Structure 1
Amino acid sequence: MTSIIAAIYSVLGLFYVLLFLFAAYSLYAMISAAPFVPTAKKRVKKMISLSGLRNDMTMMDLGSGDGRIVFEAAKTGAHCVGIEINPVLYYWSRIKQGIRPRKNVLFRRESLWETDVSHIDVLTIFFIHPKMEKLMKKLRTEMKPGALIVSYAFTFPGWQYEIKDDKIYVYRVER
């Protein structure tokens, strides 16, 4: 009986540790970029469709959360990369990847501010307004000309989008 109680306390302890990590990294994400907000499947499909993603392209989702955009984009055959700093969300994506392996999907746990985006053809993002200008400077400087950025819900200040469909904005990098 005591071993069952000990096991229950161990599971509860692990749950609280994971909950704390999730909350701490969610707070960090909100300060540095955006909180985790799952994007509706309908919007994910629309984002991928508007990007024109093909199997000869590389796609990256900055702040990939639970990986839903990466997994949907992978259906095109493109090489898809998810960048996530929150360890709970990162490992959840990796678990999902392990359950249904895809050779064209990769998840990396790192800060989006330190991520190399120079080789990316299509970048998807969900950011909050206070950080959009900082992100815009990074992307315009580091991404290759002709690359596309698909932003859900938020626009870049002073940068004209090529396509607007509901709350989805598509930008082309030019130099």
Structure 2
Amino acid sequence: MWIVLIFVIITIGYFLFFWIIPFSLKGAIYDPSNKEAVKKMVELAQIKPGEKSVDLGSGDGRVVIEFAKKGIQAHGYEINPLLVIISRINIRKAGLKGKAFIHWNNFWKVDLSQYDIITVFQVSFAMDRLEKKLMYELKPGARVISNYWTFPNWRPSKYEKDVYVYEKKINYIFYE
């Protein structure tokens, strides 16, 4: 009897924190990037010393942590408060406090112009709006790395294994 009750409570909690809350806060569901995709995102980013990265919808912080491990300042924006707590715990466990940061905020309301590398693993219906936001906010030389989903109008400068890299050139994104 107790096992069934505990299972029901855990199931309800899972749906509440990873499905219902994100949708009510206008966020996506929690669907983390797998380890291979994260590794490929870091590799394709071609990180340079002194750069800053940001992960939009940072989930449990795994992308932020991997970028911080490469020696750059890494940020993440997450709207789900439970995932923010989990991310911050993961950052402490990784020994990256002061190098990796998770912000409890809606990334749609944040100016992204300070970042050199932007990583995303969003859903298809968000990519058009995100493309427009990034077009206007990113500085020249910024790179956008997208796991799985593509932008409707931009052409990637490179891609491997469902990871796409887009580069902002001067005042526009090259369309090839």
Report the residue type matching 2:130 in the other structure. Answer: L
Provide the C-alpha distance between the structure 1 equivalents of 2:136 and 2:111, rounded to a whole number of angstroms.
11
Deviation string, structure 1 residues 106-161 (Cα, Å, up to 9, x no partner): 11000010122101000000111211111111001011111000001111111111
1:27 to 18, 23, 28: 23
When the two structures are superposed, what TM-score results if normalisation uses the length of structure 2?
0.84
1:82 Cα shift? Answer: 1.0
Provide the C-alpha distance between the structure 1 equivalents of 2:11 and 2:28, rounded to a whole number of angstroms.
24
Unaligned runs of 5+ residues in structure 2 are: 172-176
When the two structures are superposed, what TM-score results if normalisation uses the length of structure 1?
0.84
Provide the C-alpha distance between the structure 2 equivalents of 1:162 and 1:93, rounded to a whole number of angstroms.
30
Higher radius of gyration, 1 or 2? 1
Aligned residues: 164
Secondary structure at the counterpart of residue 64 of structure 1: coil
Identity %: 34
Asked whether the 8 Å contact 1:34–1:126 carries over to 2, the reply is no
Provide the C-alpha distance between the structure 2 equivalents of 1:117 and 1:78, rounded to a whole number of angstroms.
16
1:35 Cα shift? Answer: 2.2
User: Deviation above 3 Å: which 4+ runs of structure 1?
Assistant: 12-19
Asked whether the 8 Å contact 2:19–2:30 carries over to 1, the reply is no
- Tell me what 1:76 maps to: 70
Unaligned runs of 5+ residues in structure 1 are: none
Asked whether the 8 Å contact 2:117–2:144 carries over to 1, the reply is yes
Structure 1 range deviating more: 110-119 or 91-100 = 91-100
- Structure 1 residues 146 and 42, CA, compared in 2 at 3 Å: closer, same or farther? same
RMSD: 2.3
Report the residue type matching 2:106 in the other structure. Answer: S
- Structure 1 residues 154 and 148, CA, compared in 2 at 3 Å: closer, same or farther? same
1:54 Cα shift? Answer: 2.9
